[in-house]
Amino acid sequence: MLGTKKGGREGEIDVSGLDFLDGSLEFARFWSEPEGEQTFIIEPRALGADPFLFGMAMVDALRHAAIAYSRAVNISEGQALARIMEGFQAELENPTDEPKPLADPDESIN
């Protein structure tokens, strides 16, 4: 069952019981401050050198998010996806922050 790990960060999603993740590589983590900023840690090497693969993963994530929202707030998956895409487009057109790199810019994926 998903939950909060004991000893982890508040609100951290506990995936320790999800055996199907064995052998998988993590490539992204997202956090949100209540009524504040979001923080994203991206490690693309788990996906490979082509950013196209990250784009595909993000589309999959949007679709999974639509399912999660539809169940959490009792709307259809279509309604949830449409609203997610509205937010996506709004942020593309008028970014609310400036991404800052965490890693050394000289590191490459090769």
Average pLDDT for 62-85: 98
User: Are 97 and 37 a contacting pair, CB within 8 Å?
Assistant: yes
The token pair that represents 17 in the structure block: 């019981």
- pLDDT the model gives residue 52: 97
> What residue ranges define each of the domains in the chain, with the CATH number in brackets?
48-95 (3.30.2370)
The full length of the chain comes to: 110
Q: Return d(Cα 56, Cα 85) in angstroms, integer.
A: 15
- pLDDT the model gives residue 35: 87
Model confidence over 10-38: pLDDT tens digits? Answer: 888 999 999 999 999 999 999 998 888 88
Q: Return d(Cα 54, Cα 82) in angstroms, integer.
A: 21
Quickly state the pLDDT bin for 1 (edges 50, 70, 90): very low
Model confidence over 78-105: pLDDT tens digits? Answer: 999 999 999 999 999 999 988 888 766 5
- pLDDT the model gives residue 9: 82
Q: Is the pTM of this model over 0.85?
A: no
- pLDDT the model gives residue 59: 97
DSSP 8: S
Name the nearest CA neighbour of 96 among 29, 13, 51, 40. 40
Q: Return d(Cα 39, Cα 100) in angstroms, integer.
A: 10
Cα end-to-end span (Å), the chain: 37
